[in-house]
Amino acid sequence: MPDELIVDVRPFGPGRAVLHDLAAGLLERPVLREALARTRHQLLSVELLEPERKVARPRPPDRFGATIYDYTNDRTIFAEGSLRDPDKLAVSESGWRPLPTREEFERAVAVVGRDRELGAGLREGRLRPYPPMPPLVEDDEAGGGHRRVVSVGLLPTNGEREHEIVGVDMARRSVVRLAGGAPSTALAVGQTCGQPDAQQATSGRGYVPGQAWVTVSRGGTVLWRFLAVRPAASSGTNGSGVELRYVDYRGKRVLYRAHLPLLNVRYDNDACGPYLDWQEEEGMIDAQGVDVAPGFRLCPSPAQTILDTGDDAGNFLGVAVYVQGQEVVLVSEMEAGWYRYVSEWRLHANGNIRPRFGFGAVDSSSCVCNVHHHHAYWRLDFDVRSAGDNVVREFNDPPLLGRTKWRTIRFETQRPRNPARKRRWRVQHRNTGDAYEIIPGPGDGVATSSPDWPFPQGDVWLVRYRGSEIDNGVVATGPPYEANIGNFVNNESIDGADVVVWYGAHATHDVSHEPPGSFGHIVGPELRRAKW
């Protein structure tokens, strides 16, 4: 058919074997053997590093970074090097606390299995372990000191024992029982809410390749071309879901990068949390199709996530790609403790883009029985035609002043959504007039109207590009838990500059009162082609 969209997906960058071989021999490098001598330690991740400067077209990543935790000395070791010469490593240490990996969590569960009081319950299946929130127990609750204490949830399967969240001291390989049966920012009681937890494998950051070029054509004409990145390989301190880079429509650049590197949640009356969540740990989805690149599956029909079916189980970890009508869809599901998040991009043949993000939960949690408020923040690095020469205009109806509905925003600023004025924004190339508009979604909320205001802090931030401003730099083990995007607003000029738009969406989640057939909430704006 002449109107049929054809999708081609091709892998980009080093493959799985390269990363696994690198990880297998990394700790034997002399500089790391010396740094880690006579310690108990764990290699948490090896990931490919991006170039520090913007480039028009990427080359396959050459540099890598490794994160190792030294349990004996309670420190994080970072090693950075080149794939061409991995023996030359730059090594540093920090008190920074990386997220636990799934492998590390399983090691913590094994410690609980050897505990005199709790071990029998695990071995006999009377207790079901799960990764809770927060992922690490704070120092004061763990007995003081800078210690790595991984949280392990224990849910009774027959109601004979109380629900509990414990900590596991990874250095001492011992269980820490907590006052009240859970960390102070969590709950472990008899009632749980959410969809059934399938407890399937996940894929987190490290050791996984995850970039692919996607080309969408129709009738021999290339409509879209971009580099897609799976959540497990995405950028930012805590990942950023499905990430798009070098996004071109009909041969012209629209976005340098589009992703969601900040995500947080707050509960009414602080029943739990607040939490700063991560977007790097992929959960299973149901996707039938052909694997066309590591972590990418091309499907003849729509993939199904927990928000579509209420089913937490699946057969695929990564990004499903499929055509639905005149849209190409990329979708993946992520896990953060008991939360389930869905990251989705919809790219239409007409040039419009619909970023979508969904919120759900599984039934290991007592917390999500309480009303809570999710806040998702997209970072949209526009390079309309070029990395620079972009201007931002804002639409208001009725106008703010006089009769002019469009006005130019000349300096960095934060703007409320203001549906009463039908507010939207346009990023436009100063010389050619090519432009895209950001149209708020009807369910995206307004920060100042959120029941947990001022925690969400805002709706839209317009800032000048800075390579260091990918996110707030805070690991999801927190605090602080607020997005703090306002720190990027320094009154610099964005008139004819390289412009980044941060877009926040806010959703209230009341699991106990969801209508039948609803398994969560979905938010997101539309990036609409205004002139091209």
pLDDT in tens, the chain (532 residues): 558 999 999 999 888 888 888 888 899 999 999 999 999 999 999 988 888 788 888 888 889 999 999 999 999 999 999 988 888 999 999 988 899 999 999 999 999 999 999 999 999 999 999 999 999 998 888 776 678 999 999 999 886 678 999 999 999 999 999 989 999 999 999 899 999 999 998 988 877 889 999 999 999 999 999 999 999 999 999 999 999 999 999 999 999 999 999 999 999 999 999 999 999 999 999 999 999 999 999 999 999 999 999 999 999 999 999 999 999 999 999 999 999 999 999 999 999 999 999 999 999 999 999 999 999 999 999 999 999 999 999 999 999 988 999 999 999 999 999 999 999 999 999 999 999 999 999 999 999 999 999 999 999 999 999 999 999 999 998 789 999 999 999 999 999 999 999 999 999 999 877 777 677 889 999 999 998 9
Confidence at residue 60, expressed as pLDDT on a 0 to 100 scale: 87
Using an 8 Å Cβ cutoff, are 502 and 515 in contact? no
Count of Cβ atoms closer than 10 Å to residue 288 Cβ: 15
User: Which residues form the domain of 133?
Assistant: 102-181
Bridge partners of 425?
394, 438
d(CA 72, CA 75): 8
Helix (H) or strand (E) holding 341: strand 339-348
In a domain, residue 298? The reply is: no
Confidence at residue 118, expressed as pLDDT on a 0 to 100 scale: 94
Which among 394, 350, 407, 345 is positioned nearest to 529, based on CA atoms?
350
Confidence at residue 379, expressed as pLDDT on a 0 to 100 scale: 98
**How many domains is the chain built from?**
1
Confidence at residue 280, expressed as pLDDT on a 0 to 100 scale: 95
- Sole residue written with tokens 């500089």: 31
d(CA 399, CA 406): 8
Using an 8 Å Cβ cutoff, are 214 and 322 in contact? no
Helix (H) or strand (E) holding 122: helix 119-123
In a domain, residue 144? The reply is: yes
In a domain, residue 120? The reply is: yes
In a domain, residue 423? The reply is: no
In a domain, residue 274? The reply is: no
Q: Is 309 helix (H, G, I), strand (E, B) or coil?
A: helix
Question: What single letter denotes the amino acid at residue 382?
Answer: F
Confidence at residue 517, expressed as pLDDT on a 0 to 100 scale: 67
Count of Cβ atoms closer than 10 Å to residue 24 Cβ: 12
In a domain, residue 169? The reply is: yes
In a domain, residue 81? The reply is: no
Q: What is the DSSP letter of 193?
A: B
The pairing of strands 252-267 and 243-249 is antiparallel
In a domain, residue 389? The reply is: no
Q: Which DSSP string corresponds to 149-192?
A: EEEEEEEESSSSS--EEEEEETTTTEEE--GGGS-TT----S--
> 398: buried, middle or exposed (CB in 10 Å: 19+, 13-18, 0-12)?
exposed
